[in-house]
Amino acid sequence: MQKPYYEKPKFKLYQANCLDLLAELPENSVDMVFADPPYNLSNGGITVHAGRMVSVNKGDWDKSKGFKDDYDFHYKWMEACCRVLKPHGTLWVSSIV
């Protein structure tokens, strides 16, 4: 198992690639997952923030790798979440509409 980035009794925080970390967890072992994944929007576009036009450039992690690769990544991490979640577990995903 990877070394926690931060640890307290009954609490561990990891900083890792989610696919690597989820693969280390036993199946049916997690009650709830909350995810705020990349939205793949940092591709030179603009948005409105606090009434002003600003560039959408959050970093390389948010750049689209094309529809198929983006889809494959999102499918993989959600599939990995489903594997570790208990049968009545909950998956919360932060997203945009």
If one counts every other C-beta atom within 10 angstroms of the C-beta of residue 42, the result is 17
CA distance 82 to 31: 11
Question: What token pair was written down for 89?
Answer: 């577990």
Contact positions toward ligand SAM, by CB under 6 A?
17-19, 36-38, 61
Least Å distance, CB 36 to ligand SAM, is 4
Least Å distance, CB 88 to ligand SAM, is 25
Q: For residue 54, what are the CA distances in angstroms to 46, 49, 59?
A: 6, 7, 14
**Residues listed for the chain:** 97
Least Å distance, CB 56 to ligand SAM, is 12
| Residue at token pair 């989610």 | 18
Least Å distance, CB 16 to ligand SAM, is 7
